[in-house]
Amino acid sequence: MNKYLSLILLFLTIFIFGCKEIPSKEIYYIPKGFTGNILLIYNQSTGQNDSLSNGSIIYKIPKNGILLLKGNQIVTNMMYSKFYFYDRRAISEICFPPYSINNCSAFVNQYHSGSYRASLKSKQYDYVLITIGGNKSKSDDFDDSSIPSLIDGR
C-alpha cells in the first residue's frame, strides 16, 4: 500500500508543479492591405519575446512580413487562430477558411510550419509561413532556403 501512496504523491507533485499554462490560440495583427507571405521564425537571439494575453499568443506582424521570435513554436489549435488587418483607426478580420468566412476583407490562403537546415552541421530554422491574399487564389511560391538571407536583409 505504501508503494501506491508514493506513486500517487509523485504523480500529484508532477501534475501540480509541472503544469504550465499553454496558450489556446494565436492572434495575428497584420498591417492593413498586406498581401503575400508572412514568416514567423523561431529561436532567434535578436527576436521578440512571446506576447501573451488572456490565454492567447499575440503576433504583431511588421510591414515586411518577417517576425523573428526568441522562443520555440507553441502548438495551438489553428481552428481558434484569428487574423486581423490593423491600422491606426480600425481592425478588420481576415478570413481563415474553413473556420471563418463572413465579412472578410482578405483570406489566409496558406498556413504551414516547417524547418530548414542547409546541411546537418548548419543552423536549423523553425518557421511558420502564412500567405495572405485578397481572394482564394493560389498561394505564393516560397523557397525556405531563402530564410537565412531574409533574416540578414530585414
Report the alpha-carbon angle 143-67-52, nearest 5: 135
Q: Along the chain (154 residues), what's the average pLDDT of each consecutive run of 10 residues?
A: 63 54 76 89 89 86 93 76 82 67 70 85 88 59 83 72
Question: 3-state class of 69 per DSSP?
Answer: strand
* Residue whose C-alpha is closest to residue 52's, from 92, 21, 19: 21
- Cβ neighbours of residue 79 closer than 8 Å, sequence gap 6 or more: 99
Look up residue 88 and give its three cell numbers: 491606426
pLDDT at 65: 92
pLDDT at 102: 63
pLDDT at 67: 94
Alpha carbon distances (Å) from 33 to 63, 90, 95, 130, 145: 10, 12, 14, 15, 27
Per the listing, cell 508503494 goes with 3
* Residue whose C-alpha is closest to residue 28's, from 93, 89, 73: 93
pLDDT at 5: 64
pLDDT at 68: 94
pLDDT at 14: 58
* Residue whose C-alpha is closest to residue 27's, from 4, 50, 1: 50
pLDDT at 16: 54
Task: Output DSSP code: residue 138.
Answer: P
The answer to whether the predicted template modeling score (pTM) of the entire model surpasses 0.85 is: no
